[in-house]
Amino acid sequence: MPNADPILRVAIPSPLYRSFDYLPPADRATPGTVGARVLVPFGRTQKVGVVLETASSSELPPERLKRAVTVIDREPLLPPDLMRLGRWLADYYKQPVGEAFAALFPTLLRQGQAATVRGEPMWRLTEAGRRTRPETIKGASRQAQLLAVLHQQPKGVTQAQLGSTHSGWRAPLDALARKGLAVREYKPCLPEGPLASPGPAPEPTDEQARAIGTLRERLKGFNVTLVEGVTGSGKTEVYLALMEKALGAGRQVLMLVPEIGLTPQLIERVQKRLGRPIAVLHSALTDRERLCAWSAAREGQIEIVLGTRSAVFTPLARPGLLLVDEEHDGSYKQQDGLRYHARDVAVLRASQLDIPIVLGSATPSLETLRNVETGRYGRVVLSERATGASMPRLGLLDVRHQRLEAGLSGPLLTHIDDHLQRGGQVLLFLNRRGYSPVLLCHDCGGTAHCPRCDALMTFHRGSETLRCHHCGGERPLPSRCPDCGGGELVAVGQGTERLEEALTERFGVNTVVRIDRDTTRRKGALEQQLDRARSGQARILIGTQMLAKGHDFPGITLVGIVDADSGLFAVDLRATEHLAQQIVQVIGRAGRAERPGEALIQTHLPDHPLLRTLLNEGYDGFARDALIERREAGMPPFASQALFRAEAVKRGAPEAFLEAARAVLQTHAATNVSIIGPIPAPMERRAGRYRHQLILHTDSRRELHETLTRSVPLIAELRESRSVRWSLDVDPMELY
Ligand code: ADP
Ligand code: ZN
């Protein structure tokens, strides 16, 4: 039945796979438009939603339609391209539309705050306040105290800081404001001041010049280009040249980098070279800072946005170019909630915006290489280092029959000696923190299991604890075996802590620096450790994957991969791809300056095809073989997958839910979709919960999506779903 009021069709974050209809607020001053947020009654609470469309009629009878409480935005907050993106996210990742739209917003907007380019609220002294000594305020000790605080901080104190140190600050500060002694203002949230003039660019190498030429040609309309360049080949310089051109045309640029790659060095490099302020978006920002950057980009006040995964959703007033650096990096995949892949979303966004996108990597993902193979993506190659340095020589060290000292073979130790003596630095890569992965009782052979996971606990010597790396559980190191009372507990295997101990013993205390999550937890610790490494004070760097990318250590001449073998036995489809990428990335840390580098991989499997191919033909050879293997096995990127995960404290509940889900899927599955499972997750119990999974596999992406579109809303309403936590992962990167 037609209604005089337009109907607002609203996306509201909730587990329900639908939108909700409302009438505009009674006042009618702001009727609500597509892309604006509205506050609406929802169950017993109120929620912030986005208007998806306005309609003339609803399926609900008029008397059941509720009115929105308020329209928050007079104008659409989301531009049309993000409206389309939100719908695409919901449809592709099979999430409730409200959840997909919520992902587009910074927290404060999700909570209904205004979208302004304003920084943190803060307080500072007025001129009168500066001249007033705190002790002259009589009979109001709180005011005197806060006045003293402001005296100590002439530039002002944010409300967030005040809140953490002085509870109840508001009333006394309001009183000081009324007396004209203090004012509240907003901290500037964008980089300020006159812009530096753009810095000089190095003369491009022939390869760079060719790449820049090709890419500049392609700087109009939608197209995807892979920049495949060995570490140190000057990819970043190529991006900068391209960004310059886009900015020169008055366009905005959005560049995504992996979490670990967003270093102060990179930010400074981009800023200096382009001479313009950048908005940097990463997980450590305050909600207010994030909102500010988001709004500034939306209004076109800032031209360069540099950010990690979720920055892919930043609105752009004048979009011109998207870049995804290290496109193979795992941190682009969101691992909970809306499980999107930021690289894939970036490509889709570029196509919706009809602008070019550049993906860069020294070790491209097989998905991207496949797209190059089929001609959907273009490619430019940088095969040599820009500085003229040569790529490190790669060798395998067969450690069979060798005596190992904390996992290090004699020949590797000799090489370390050599390089140190010639003034080089050494990087040892071991992707396992702690002292040893196993603590074994010499009397009964018992091991320390995590009580909450199907996993052994790692021995951490420094803190004298046993820790579970899967659930974070921790307990003090027992002095005796809890099973038999035996007093001799043996540390089996090595982690970075043990490596550090052995190398310190051999080379001296100040020679070694260990960089892993345990040594860098404290704020500022990572920078401190990196400084010790870069300054050359530390001669030997030990690190986990934290060291494998994003950081430059010009003095390193030898990279040692302590243990490649554990990766070779992994069951996961993508494990070998990750191992190859990791090895090549770590090796790329060597010999970045004038000195030639060397890289050595210790292995018990010197004839393993993966290692042989990497050695003889590099990453390209590996990728070529891996794509053939994937094609023959009918695995991604030659097939599409979706993964249902379910977990519960109660054993059996996840399996029961997935059985029920399977029944729904079977009824609705298209012909070419196979359903595998339910099967237990590779680690069946984790953090006290039992876990099962169900995999959909097909060579027809279209059929996969048809199946899911029909089934997921029904699965969400299964009775069995109430006893579990479950999720759906479309294009999963890990099958557990
Ligand atoms: P990538 O991003 O491929 O690892 P970078 O752009 O960081 O490479 O360049 C690696 C190093 O080479 C940097 O120190 C950079 O300053 C330098 N470099 C890049 N291009 C040139 C060039 N054309 N001439 C001289 N040095 C260059
Ligand atoms: Zn655990």
436 C-beta closer than 6 A to ligand 1: no
**pLDDT number for residue 590:** 80
Across the chain, mean pLDDT equals: 91
Residue indicated by tokens 């006159």: 194
pLDDT at 192: 60
pLDDT of residue 674: 96
Question: How far, in Å, is the centroid of ligand 2 from the Cα of 727?
Answer: 21
User: What are the CA-CA distances from residue 184 to residues 92, 158, 165, 289, 706 (Å)?
Assistant: 45, 9, 18, 18, 55
The reply to whether ligand 1 has any atom less than 6 angstroms from the CB of 204 is yes
Report the pLDDT averaged over residues 291-311: 92
Q: Is the CB of 292 under 6 A from ligand 1?
A: no
Predicted pLDDT at 347: 98
Q: What is the pLDDT of residue 5?
A: 80
Instruction: Say how far apart CA 601 and CA 372 lie, in whole Å.
Output: 30
- Give the pLDDT score at 734: 85
Q: What spacing in Å lies between the alpha carbon of 386 and ligand 1's midpoint?
A: 5
Secondary structure of residue 441 in the 3-state scheme: strand
How many A from CA of 141 to the centre of ligand 1? 59
Amino acid at 372: V
Q: Of 645, 694, 659, which is closest to residue 673 (Cα–Cα)?
A: 694
pLDDT of residue 134: 87
Confidence tier at 560 by pLDDT (50, 70, 90):
very high
Ligand 1 nearest atom to the CA of residue 554, by list position? 14
Quick one: pLDDT band at residue 736, thresholds 50, 70, 90?
low
Model confidence pLDDT, tens digit, residues 27-57 = 777 778 899 999 999 999 999 999 999 998 8
**Sign of the dihedral through C-alpha 345, 351, 352, 356:** positive
Closest ligand (CA of 685) = 2
- Cβ count near 241 (within 10 Å): 20
Position 496 pLDDT exceeds 80: yes
DSSP string, 268-279: HHHHHHHTS-EE
Residue 78 has pLDDT above 90, yes or no: yes
pTM (predicted TM-score) = 0.89
d(CA 568, CA 404): 20
Instruction: Work out the average pLDDT over 485-505.
Output: 94
Instruction: Tell me the residue ranges of DSSP E strands in 331-405.
Output: 357-361, 378-382, 393-398, 404-405
State if residue 233 touches ligand 1 by the CB under 6 angstroms criterion. Answer: yes
592 has a pLDDT exceeding 70: no
Quick: pLDDT tens for 503-541.
999 998 889 999 998 998 888 888 888 888 888 889 999
- For helices 653-668 and 701-716, the axis angle rounded to 10 degrees is 130
What is the side-by-side order of every strand in the sheet holding 121-125? 157-158, 121-125, 182-186
- Residue appearing with tokens 């001669």: 539
Residue with more model confidence, 464 or 57: 464
For 110-152, write each residue's pLDDT tens digit.
999 888 777 778 888 888 888 888 888 878 888 898 899 889 8
Residue 473's Cβ-count burial label (10 Å; 0-12, 13-18, 19+) is middle
Residues near 348 by Cβ (< 8 Å), separated by ≥ 6?
85, 88
pLDDT tens-digit series, residues 176-223: 999 989 988 877 677 665 566 778 889 999 999 999 999 999 999 999
Q: Whose CA is nearest to atom 21 of ligand 1?
A: 386
Which range, 287-301, 534-548, 627-641, is most confident?
A: 627-641
Residue 2 pLDDT > 50:
no
* For residues 402-416, average pLDDT: 93
Name residue 7's beta-bridge partners. 55
For the chain, give the percent of residues with pLDDT over 70. Answer: 97
Q: Is residue 235 within 6 Å of ligand 1 at its C-beta?
A: yes
Q: How far is the CA of 684 from the centre of ligand 2 (A)?
A: 12
Q: Contacts by 479-484 with C-beta closer than 8 Å and gap 24+?
A: 481/441, 481/443, 481/444, 481/446, 482/446, 483/441, 483/444, 483/446, 484/441, 484/443, 484/444, 484/446
Distance CA 597, CA 416 (A): 12
Residue 604: per-residue pLDDT: 93
| pLDDT given for residue 3 in this prediction | 47
Using the structure block, give the residue that is written with the tokens 């009878």: 61
Q: How does DSSP classify residue 456?
A: B
Q: How far apart are CA 303 and CA 489, in angstroms?
A: 59
Q: What is the pLDDT of residue 569?
A: 78
Average pLDDT over residues 406-427: 93
Q: Residue 23: what pLDDT?
A: 93
pLDDT for 165 equals 83
pLDDT recorded at residue 260? 78
Comparing CA positions, the residue from 720, 470, 100, 456 lying closest to residue 694 is 720
- pLDDT computed for residue 687 by the predictor: 95
pLDDT tens-digit readout, 684-706: 999 999 999 999 999 999 999 99
Distance (Å) from CA 457 to ligand 2 centroid: 7
Cβ(229) – ligand 1 distance below 6 Å: yes
In this structure, the residue with its CA closest to atom 8 of ligand 1 is 234
Residue in 225, 180, 184 with CA at minimum distance from that of residue 382: 225
